[in-house]
Amino acid sequence: MGIEDDFYATIKFKSGEEIFSKVAASEEEDRTMLILSHPINIIEVKGRKGDPLGYKIEPWLKTTTDDMFIINMDDVLTLSESSDIDMIMMYQKYVRSADQIDDETSRYKLSQREMGYISSVADAKEVLEKIFKLETKDTQ
């Protein structure tokens, strides 16, 4: 079992998905696994006339906080090592900002008092009924 040096690559999956990531290849028994670090989707943003304005970077998987993924090479259609400095710089900027957001959100923990009043449905219903009854009495 050996892990190769990290490199930046664009990966096209058999499913049609295309991502950009820092990649390390790992040989395990009779198969090759790829270890992806902060994989991203890059979407070209176009203007009204169809001319490219820039790029939008999104996390590959949006419903997880994990930043490392292991995929089987059998799921990959093609892999292209990237030496495009602009692409690598955009990726590194995204990773730094994602790490900074994670640090900031983990730093702040709110107590129940700071979040606001939390009640049961029955308690909230009772309070709202009292308020509604008071308002209807005042308007009559």
- CATH code, domain carrying 53: 2.30.30.100
pLDDT category of residue 135 using cuts at 50, 70 and 90: low
Alpha-carbon distance 26 to 116, whole Å?
Answer: 49
Strand partners, 80: 10
The CA distance from 115 to 95, in Å, is: 30
Q: How many residues does the chain have?
A: 140
Bigger pLDDT: 113 or 122? 122
Domain enclosing residue 35, as ranges: 2-139
Considering its fold, how many domains does the chain have in total? 1
Rounded Cα gap, residues 48 and 136, in angstroms: 53
Q: What is the mean pLDDT of residues 85-114?
A: 72
- The reported pTM is 0.65
Rounded distance between C-alpha atoms, residue 40 and residue 18, angstroms: 9
